[in-house]
Amino acid sequence: MKDKIRRVYRIFRDEGLRQTVRSVSGYTTNNIHRVYPRSLLGILLNSTRPSSYIWEFDWDICCVLDGCRYDTFEQVYKGESTQIRSVGSTSQTWIPRTFSEIDTSNVAYISANAFSRRANPDDLAYYHLEPVQKTDYGIETVSPEILAKRAINIWRERDQWDVDQIVVHFMQPHVPFRMLPELFEQFEDSWGSSVWKQLQSSDIDRSRFFEAYRDNLSWVLEDGVDPILNNCDARIAMTADHGNAAGEWGYYGHPRNAPVSSVRNVPWATVEGTDEGTISTEVNHNHKNVNLERQLEALGYR
Handedness of CA 35, 39, 41, 42 (dihedral sign): positive
Is pLDDT above 50 for 35? Answer: no
pLDDT category of residue 263 using cuts at 50, 70 and 90: very high
Q: For the chain, how many residues are written?
A: 302
Could you tell me the domains of the chain? 48-298 (3.40.720.10)
Arithmetic mean of pLDDT, 180-187: 75
Question: Does the pLDDT value for residue 174 go beyond 90?
Answer: yes
The beta strand positions in the chain, using DSSP E, are 61-65, 82-85, 107-111, 126-129, 133-134, 140-141, 165-170, 235-239, 245-246, 252-253, 265-272
Which region among 8-22, 23-37, 75-89 has the lowest average model confidence (pLDDT)?
A: 23-37
- CA separation, residue 240 to residues 123, 151, 282, 286 (Å): 22, 17, 27, 28
Q: Which residues contact 153 (CB under 8 A, 6 or more apart)?
A: 281, 282, 283
pLDDT at 126 over 90: yes
State the pLDDT confidence band at 43, using cuts at 50, 70 and 90.
very low
Q: Which of 66-70, 253-257, 265-269 has the lowest mean pLDDT?
A: 253-257
- Residues 191, 169, 173, 243: what is their CA dihedral angle, to the nearest 10 degrees? -60
How would residue 134 be classed by pLDDT, with cut points 50, 70 and 90? very high
State pLDDT tens for residues 10-30: 655 555 665 555 555 555 545
Check the CA dihedral 225-241-250-198 and report its sign.
negative
Question: Please, which residues have CB within 8 angstroms of residue 203's CB and are 6 or more apart in sequence?
Answer: none
Amino acid 197: pLDDT: 84
162: which residues sit within 8 A by CB, 6+ positions away?
Answer: 105, 106, 125
Could you give the C-alpha distances from 179 to 69, 165, 173, 176, in angstroms and in order? 18, 33, 12, 9
Instruction: Report yes or no: 83 and 261 within 8 Å, Cβ to Cβ.
Output: no
> Please, what is the average pLDDT of the chain?
85
Q: Report pLDDT for 222.
A: 99
**Model pLDDT, residue 194:** 78
Tell me the percentage of the chain whose pLDDT exceeds 90: 64
Closest to 74 in 3D by CA, of 251, 272, 268:
268
